Structure 1
Amino acid sequence: MAEIYYSLVTILLVTVASPFVASLVPGRAVPEVVFLVFGGAICGKFGLAGINPDLDPVKLIADLGMGFLFLKAGYEIDTRDLLGRTGAHAAGSWLVSLGLGFAVVALVFSRLGFGQSSWVALAICMTTTAYGTLAPIMHDRRLQGTRVGKAVDVYGSLGEILPVLAMAFLLSSRSLARTGALLLAFVLVCLAVYLLSSKVRDGGRRFRRFLVENAGSSSQPLMRLVVLLLVFLLFATTVFQFDAALGAFAAGFILRALFPNGSEPLEQKIDVISNSFFQPVFFVVSGASLDLAAATRDLPLLLGFILALVVVRGFVVAASLKADPSTRDMDWHEVFSTSAYCTMALPLIVAITSLARDGGLLSATAASVLVTSAALTVLIVPTITSFVRVVEEVAPASAAHQIARHEAPLEQVLHDHLDTFHERQQAFHDVRRSVHREGRRFSSAEYFAHPHEHGLHHPHGEHRPQDACRACVPRDERAAGEKDAADRGEARS
């Protein structure tokens, strides 16, 4: 019992320290999730040995954290997007990624010592997206509702659900027919849960009135019902031998169907119970199994797998976004950010490599290297996306265009674009100071995700369109505009 409490105390110390350390990074470019995962790795069984992730109580709490994480992810997803044109493109891109993954494994990873028995597991790993890990990052950066956020919701969720199904059919010792029958049975269970819940909601007036009237009481019956829904579907996935993420996603979909317009009080309660304990514990425990030292013993595999994720998942998602008429007009940085986010892969790769290792398809060292590679994507991708969005503010494409057409001397073009960047940087710092005075957190990612909300007005009160780039306007037109502005200022005086 003492070992259990010792592990929990160490885990909770990491969960308390991580958000503070994340706040020290300028612009919060590195999300809190990264510090939770790598804090768990440092304190885990291959590091300081302060956390034992193999203890059953610790694994149970982590599984519930994963459940809440995917429940919230499923609740946020608009199923109409999944079933619409974007969903069809996302599903098609995943199938292309799977085929490309097999090709990459056969051509490249077979030369690194991987036998044919491991090809299926490796190919599925290359198609995954850590949507559960992405969801809190997207929330912290306030990307929900943006074009990037909507695209990541569709491509990311299918990048989590479809590999789970592929695991069940391709890595299971069961026959395909038996797996299909069990999947159908699970779907019927989910449908029965939804119909029963709908009947209670619409027909059980007395019970519904009790839930609504006592939602804020100490008994919290509505939250208890949500937890029951989640735990029951996690239990169902265990019985039918599917990955628990499938049951948690289903719980989120059912909850959204019961509350199609959302329920802010319910969402706040779920956030409190999830974000304060279960969810951060899941990330720390996920990191506690990482053997960071093992990755240094096979750098070709470590770097090769990250590159394979970029090619197999990132490039295919980017091509699909450009092929889909509804996303074809996305800016280059939006396409880059979406495809980069979709290459993040951690929780599901842990599950796939564990299954393959237990079945003798992967060695323990190879599994550790693959999981470490996936963990590194959680660190690299958020940092790169923040950096790319900052670089885009300098308008490098516009600068190159001006230089190529000889619209202005090289020194003048660089000077104007840097001036634009410094103006935007000053505006960001002014907004951040204002938001901090209100007692709220504010990151550069949030500022860039909602430019018209935060930067539509000049820090000194003068109206300035956020997307207007000073350096993109020809010098003579800009001078005329500045003269007009000065004349208007004199007239007001």
Structure 2
Amino acid sequence: MEKIYLAIALVLLTSQIFGAVATRIGLPKIVGELLVGVVLGPSLLNLIEPGEFLHIFSEIGVLLLMFIAGMETDFKKLMANLKPSIVVALFGVIVPLVAFSLFGKFLHMDTMQALFVGIIFSATSVSITVKIFMDNNILQTKVAAIVLGAAVIDDILAVLAISIYKSVDNLSTANLLSIAWDLLITKLIFFLSVYLFYKFVLPWLKHYSEKWEWSFLPVIMTLIACFLWGYFAELMGLSAVLGSFFFGLMLAISGAKQHIEKEIDVIANSIFIPLFLTSIGAAITLSDITVNLVPILIGTLLAIITKLGSCYFAAKAGKLTHPEALLIGSGMMSRGEMALVTLNIGISMHFIGEQYYSILVAIIVMTTILSPFFIKYSLQKIKL
């Protein structure tokens, strides 16, 4: 048990040092924070392991990160840019889905396994992009609104693709009603619940929170609600980060965020977000890269080209400028936690053979570590 305390202390200390060094030499701060996991993890020093404690802390970290993103998002800009967000999301799902299904065949998978690999890499994990946008104070810009909108739609499409895959794989035992429930009804229940909570419950909570004598009570109640929305989203077949993002968005629209925003930001960025970023770096081992170097390099290149390229051309089709389209493509490139979760679902349900696990994890982590470099380059070309 004492090793856990030492690991947390090491991660928090090293994250600050690596982040500061990265900034000093002109790299995005988040690159230094991601490399903490590589250095302290199984790849080099082996001081931390990607076990249950790190997984739990990282899950809380990404949940709070997307909750903060929701609170800092401009809802009017999000809705005003819904059309380009939909186009970017569709291109960003279809192109990687097809390309990585072919990549699965290149790895000698059968058709169903290859298709699931396509689903894994069709998903976008925008949490890394959100952190960079927050660090650069551009989360309320038009480009950020398109990336966030596309990421939400992308997330929903990926979840639907997984649900369809499960239904097809179990077609002999499934019936049309249960498939309809999994694909549509649960998602409608979630979004209806978001609307009802915003319309009827949130005004009441905001009114009474202003009368609470204990200053910490609104923060505690907000954290409870954030975790409950994450739980409810997963219960409805969506990802927990989607639930926390929409809850943060509701607080932003209602104006209730002013009572808790700073406190939540301190809690998240002090402990949980550094542990989340470390967990991504710790998921990769250099020995796995060495053994499977060729497929990992091909897969990483494919992951970058398919997501960045498809989202870039979709943004250009929506009449955005070259720098804006490049930033959108770069922002949609990272796979991160969403792809890792989907991969683990595939392994646990035997949709993919375990012999492919290390290759796919390495590709996911490599795209996540490389995406900040592309985003930084794009930011240098754009005036927001």
Partner of 1:52: 49
Structure 1 residues 35-114: aligned runs within 5 Å: 35-55=32-52, 57-84=53-80, 86-114=81-109
Q: Is 1:144 aligned with 2:115?
A: no
1:19 alignment counterpart: 19
Percentage of identical aligned residues: 20
The one-letter amino acid of 1:75's match is M
Matches within 5 A, 1:93-492: 93-171=88-166, 175-179=178-182, 180-201=184-205, 205=207, 207-211=208-212, 214=213, 219-240=215-236, 242-259=238-255, 263-264=257-258, 266-324=260-318, 328-330=319-321, 332-387=322-377, 449=383
8 Å CA contact 1:131–1:160 kept in 2: the answer is no
Aligned residue pairs total: 375
**1:350 shift after superposition:** 0.9
Which letter maps to 2:119?
A: I
Q: CA 1:385 to 1:247, structure 2 compared with 1: closer, same or farther past 3 Å?
A: closer
| TM-score normalized by the length of structure 2 | 0.85
Amino acid in the other structure paired with 2:64? F
Per-residue deviation, residues 107-128 of structure 1 (Å, max 9, x unmatched)? 4431221221223332223322
Report if the CA contact (8 A) 1:41-1:287 is conserved: yes
Q: Which residue of 2 aligns with 1:437?
A: none
Task: Indicate conservation of the 8 Å contact 1:152/1:338, yes or no.
Answer: yes
Cα deviations by residue, 1:337-380 (Å, 9 ceiling, x for unpaired): 22122112211111111111212223345333223223222333
SS at match of 1:286: helix
Quick one: distance in 2 between partners of 1:146 and 1:209?
30
| Distance (Å, rounded) in 1 between the aligned partners of 2:159 and 2:253 | 22
Aligned-pair distance for 1:230? 0.6
Q: Distance in 2 between matches of 1:143 and 1:58?
A: 30
**Structure 1 stretches lacking a partner, 5+ long:** 393-447, 451-493
Structure 2 CA distance for partners of 1:256 and 1:335, relative to 1, 3 Å: same
Question: Is the 8 Å Cα contact of residues 22 and 29 (structure 2) preserved in structure 1?
Answer: yes
Task: Give the distance between the partners of 1:292 and 1:352, measured in 2 at CA.
Answer: 22
* C-alpha contact 2:159 2:237 (8 A) present in aligned 1: no
Measure, in 2, the Cα distance between the counterparts of 1:155 and 1:38: 27
Letter in 2 for 1:64: I
Which residue of 2 is the match for residue 3 of structure 1?
A: 3
CA shift digits 1:306-365 (9 cap, x unpaired): 2322343222212221222xxx251x2332222122112211111111111212223345
More helix by share: 2
- Give the direction of change, closer, same or farther, for the CA distance of 1:153–1:242 in structure 2 (3 Å limit): closer
In the alignment, the residues of structure 2 paired with residue 294 and residue 366 of structure 1 have an alpha-carbon distance, to the nearest angstrom, of 11
1:387 Cα offset (Å): 4.3
CA gap of 1:59–1:299, structure 2 versus 1, over 3 A, is: closer
TM-superposed CA distance for 1:276, in Å, is 1.1
Provide structure 2 residue ranges, at least 5 long, that are not aligned to the other structure: none
The answer to which structure, 1 or 2, has the higher relative contact order (CA under 8 A, 6+ apart) is 2
Q: CA deviation at 1:280?
A: 1.2
Q: TM-score, normalised by structure 1?
A: 0.68
Quote how far apart the aligned CAs of 1:227 are.
Answer: 0.5
Bigger Cα Rg? 1
Q: 1:242 to 1:366 in 2, by over 3 A?
A: same
How far did residue 135 of structure 1 move? 0.8
